[in-house]
Amino acid sequence: MPPDVSDAGGLFFKVPFMKKRPFLMALLVIGAVFVGFVVIIVAVAGIVGNSAHLPIGHKVGVIQVVGPIVSSDKTVREIVDFSKDDSIEAVVLRVDSPGGGVGPSQEIYVEIERLTEVKPVVVSMGSVAASGGYYVAVPADRIVANPGTITGSIGVIMGFTNYQELLDKIGLKNTVVKSGEHKDIGSPVRPMTDEDRAILQGLIDDVHRQFVDAIAKGRELEVDAVLSFADGRIFTGRQAQQIGLVDELGNFQDAVEVAATLAEIDGDPRLVYPPKEKPDFIEYFMQEAFSHFEKGLREQSQSGLQYIWNGTIGR
């Protein structure tokens, strides 16, 4: 072997090159190590972030509906993904929500109903699963609630605030040009007429009946039986069980066991949660700031038809 060549694991490096450029060689070695380290991190993160795709053991998916229901996009996407994933044998829907918008609640309801056609779905109720929070639970195969869970509140609500007297006091006047008599129905700058109220009441009554019909169908109850307690009142989990709104009492782990039984899973299943979205560093802080601002704004000024319970409870 020539004196200027060094054997290193079958690879040949010219010694003069290494001696003349040691700094460059050091950079190359450090760069190679860094790239390898990044590849390992990405691989591990991919495995952890997509653990639902690992063919290891029996799996139960967990979807969470937490807080006011103001949008259905994320939840619907998670339901559809779990529906298509054959490795997930059952799903637990964890609900801790006072309800929210009628549209989003109904969209989640429809997807839960479709999900029950392909795999068992069990609802686990947290501290509150009222109004729209109960609506989304209705199509599930089983509903499990804590004895002290606040649920029910079967009803629809719309709220309007009138600022007309305040505007008159500070000398502000509002001018409206409209295409029809009721185009500005619910306006905060004019009194609500009897005809306005009748129109809105008809709207609410129709949406309320949709809620009642959904419960009667999902819980296999007579419509008249549901109407007897669908007046907006709330129930504890134990009271709800007595009238057929809840199947059994228990916590989240109990709901997981029920789901495993329905899916005929022996032993403890592995719980799988939807992967979290991973925005970049700057985008993350911008989204967090905007999210908190938007949430506060929505909670203070949300309008339109709502399946929502506005109370609070604690001990």
Catalytic residue list: 131, 183
DSSP three-state, residue 56: coil
DSSP three-state, residue 275: coil
The CA distance from 169 to 190, in Å, is 14
Residues near 24 by beta carbon (within 8 Å), at least 6 away in sequence:
none
The CA distance from 150 to 246, in Å, is 12
Residues near 137 by beta carbon (within 8 Å), at least 6 away in sequence:
93, 95, 112, 123, 125, 129, 143
Residues near 209 by beta carbon (within 8 Å), at least 6 away in sequence:
none
At residue 176, φ and ψ (nearest 5 deg) are: -120, 130
The CA distance from 294 to 108, in Å, is 21
DSSP three-state, residue 307: strand
The CA distance from 126 to 129, in Å, is 7
Alpha helices in 243-302 (DSSP H): 252-262, 281-301
Q: Rounded to whole angstroms, what are the CA distances from 222 to 141, 143, 216, 294?
A: 18, 18, 6, 40
Q: Which two structure tokens, joined as six digits, stand for 93?
A: 């829907």
